[in-house]
A = this chain, B = another copy of it.
Amino acid sequence: MSKGPVQSIDELGEFGLIDHLTRDIKKYQDSTLKGVGDDAAVIDFGETCQVVTTDLLIEGIHFDLMYTPLTHLGYKSVVVNISDVFSMNAVPRQVTVSVAISGKFSVEAMEQFYEGVNMACKQYGVDLVGGDTSSSVTGFMVSVTALGTAKKDDIVYRDGAELNNLVCVTGDLGAAYMGLQVLEREKRVFEEDSTIQPDLEDYAYVVGRFLKPEMPFETLAKLREYGIRATSMIDISDGLSSELLHICRSSDCGVVIYQDKIPIAKEVVAAAGEFQIEPLIPVLNGGEDYEMLFTVPLSEHDKVVNIPNVSIIGNITGHKGTAIMMTNEGNAIALQAQGWQAYDGEQ
């Protein structure tokens, strides 16, 4: 297929690889309304549509079992997938969960993992309807597919943001990344001296946000209750900058956000201070917050400001493909997608 020299995946980059691999995709089924390119695919079933999304979680890449209890891993595996269902403005209904494990894991370990899966299913009312279990040569791997439904007109894609739309986020950002930093630090301490037990009490909020993310489904329900329809939406899995650029790219627009409007929990500021990290770093490039980023028409301003847990952080501009943050000092900074670290590209 490629006529050029062999490229490494690192050279091509995440977006580049996905674009490259999916450029020749053909469509054979009329029922496929949306394939690759949003948080989830959309399949037509008449009045109702189904959204379909899938994610891999790989030991050593996405999680470290040294500080991730298997129950939490099971819970999180479901939640990060139904996050993509919520971000299509759909309701999650079913999941399949596949697991590959090396011989070192016991039946009890598998029980703990599935206990977490079942807890998440109960919390969000979704059914575990299938999966596959396999041995692996090394490590623990999870693959989840989540299925949800919505009325066709209710589905919100990434590509609907329009000039002057308000840019909003749910909850607060950066906590999961700081939780990860705390856990990584405790791991290093433990590796140096295994008699020292971690004391995570002071970091309960940030660690909890990392290990056990929850969906802002009550906030999304409030939006519906107020009759507000988002013009675009995406879940914040890779950090705010990356998600803003996804919206810009898909909606062929630009965006400006304001530093002082970005919701950051005091626990994030405290932890960032301790780690001597600028608190904006986890917010913009941290990821794993699983809050929602969405745009609404300017006319909805007065309604949106009354919804708890929603922050208006900026607006859509005509500067295509450009995401700008106005700092508290009045400087305009161009936001970049996070650097190429662990390669992890959802299609």
Q: Tell me how far the C-beta of A26 lies from the nearest C-beta in chain B, rounded to whole angstroms.
A: 7
Closest residue on chain B to residue A25 by CB atoms: B128
Interface residue stretch chosen among A30-38, A228-236, A300-308, A320-328 = A30-38
Q: Does A134 contact B (CB under 8 A)?
A: yes
- CB pair B121–A54 under 8 Å, yes or no, is no
How many chain A residues touch B (CB < 8 A): the figure is 86
- CB pair A132–B100 under 8 Å, yes or no, is no
Q: Which residues of B contact A181 (CB under 8 A)?
A: none
Q: Does A6 contact B (CB under 8 A)?
A: yes
- CB pair A107–B2 under 8 Å, yes or no, is yes
Q: Which of B129, B132, B139 contacts A345 (CB 8 A)?
A: B132
Say how many copies of this protein the assembly contains.
2
Q: Which residues of B contact A240 (CB under 8 A)?
A: none
Q: Tell me how far the C-beta of A135 lies from the nearest C-beta in chain B, rounded to whole angstroms.
A: 4
Q: Does A90 contact B (CB under 8 A)?
A: no
Per-residue interface assignment for chain A, residues 303 to 347, with 1 indicating a CB less than 8 Å from any chain B CB and 0 otherwise: 000000000000000000000000000000000000000111111
Closest residue on chain B to residue A131 by CB atoms: B347
Question: How far does the alpha carbon of A149 sit from the alpha carbon of B122 in the complex, in Å?
Answer: 27
Per-residue interface assignment for chain A, residues 140 to 171, with 1 indicating a CB less than 8 Å from any chain B CB and 0 otherwise: 01010101010000000000000000000000
Q: Does A108 contact B (CB under 8 A)?
A: yes
Please provide the chain A residues from 97 to 123 with a CB less than 8 Å away from any CB of chain B in the complex. 98, 100-101, 103, 105-108, 110-111, 114-115, 118, 121-122
Please provide the chain A residues from 61 to 111 with a CB less than 8 Å away from any CB of chain B in the complex. 61-62, 93-94, 96, 98, 100-101, 103, 105-108, 110-111
A selection of 7 A-B contacts at a CB cut-off of 8 Å is A7-B108, A12-B107, A25-B128, A29-B125, A56-B134, A135-B343, A137-B138
Residues of A within 8 A of B (CB): 1-2, 6-12, 17-18, 20-22, 24-29, 31-32, 34-36, 40-41, 43, 45-46, 48, 50, 52-56, 58-62, 93-94, 96, 98, 100-101, 103, 105-108, 110-111, 114-115, 118, 121-122, 125-139, 141, 143, 145, 147, 149, 342-347
